[in-house]
Amino acid sequence: MKLIFAIVNDDDAARVLSVLNQAGFSATKLATTGGYLKSGNTTFISGVEDDQVDQAISLIGSNARKRTQIIHDTTSFGAFNTMAMPLEITVGGATVFVLNVERFEKL
């Protein structure tokens, strides 16, 4: 068994959860915050059988959209001079981690 962690944009979360449930995957939705943008995103955790990992990832990936975002990155020039430079970054569609599950029980 594997545990999938998938971080997606809040706007895609309802659709991702819906397709996972429709395909028979159990998932838990966590409200999380990205460390870089410091804005909300959604993390799903889902325990799946080894041979279902690819299907789950494919469902997540095809329902989580990539977005570009302009941020203002502050660059320092010496102690008192800072300048905010616009920087385009690509966020998502989904950041996925797959971990081995040592033991799974429902008590």
Residue type for position 66: K
Long-range contacts of 21-28 (CB under 8 A, 24+ apart): 23/55, 23/56, 23/59, 25/52, 25/56, 25/59
Supply the minimum distance, in Å, between the C-beta of residue 97 and ligand 2BA.
7
CB 10 within 8 A of CB 41: yes
Q: Which residues bind ligand 2BA (CB under 6 A)?
A: 7, 34-37, 41, 89-92, 95
Minimal distance in Å, beta carbon 78 to ligand 2BA? 22
Measured from the CB atom, the residue of 88 and 105 that comes closer to ligand 2BA is 88
Least distance between ligand 2BA and beta carbon 77 (Å): 19
Q: Which is nearer to ligand 2BA, 30 or 101 (CB)?
A: 30
**Under a CB-based contact definition with an 8 Å cutoff, are residues 2 and 99 in contact?**
yes
